[in-house]
Amino acid sequence: MATIEDVYAELKQVYDPEIPVNIVDLGLIYDVKVEGPTAKITMTLTSQACPEARTIPEVMKRRCNTLEGVEETVIDIVWSPIWGPHMISPEGRKILGLDDEDSGEDGEES
């Protein structure tokens, strides 16, 4: 049976093609649950006009459905809270060359 950690490990292999950081470190994943044979993921995208809005969830489903015990992956894309650069993990910030003060909440300089 797959665990939440297993799902996160698969999601760390999914990238937005325009940004060299995985979707977990970008802060796009809000919640992961494993309920029986179903992985349930709540996420957002960097914008509602994201050109990869269909591709990213499909890649996520393909990867998670390879996990032992996962028969279905359900993805709920939400727009609240709104994603901002402040949600990028410290590892993601290093990859992108961002300093901690580069962006605060709501995209404002801190």
Sheet holding 38-43, edge to edge: 29-35, 38-43, 72-77
Distances (CA, A) of 54 to 19, 48, 61: 16, 11, 11
pLDDT-derived band of residue 101, with 50, 70 and 90 as boundaries? low
SS3 29: strand
Of all residues in the chain, what percent carry a pLDDT higher than 90? 80
The pLDDT tens digits of the residues spanning 50-86 come to: 888 999 999 999 999 999 999 999 999 999 999 999 9
**CA gap 38, 15 in Å, rounded:** 22
Check residue 17 and give its pLDDT. 86
Task: Provide φ and ψ at 93, rounded to 5°.
Answer: -65, -40
pLDDT-derived band of residue 100, with 50, 70 and 90 as boundaries? low
For 35-81, the DSSP string reads: ETTEEEEEE--S-TT-TTTTHHHHHHHHHHTTSTT--EEEEEE--SS
* Residue ranges covered by each domain of the chain: 4-83
For the question of whether the overall pTM of this predicted structure is more than 0.85, the answer is yes
**Is 75 in contact with 43 (CB distance < 8 Å)?**
yes
CATH class entry, domain 4-83: alpha beta
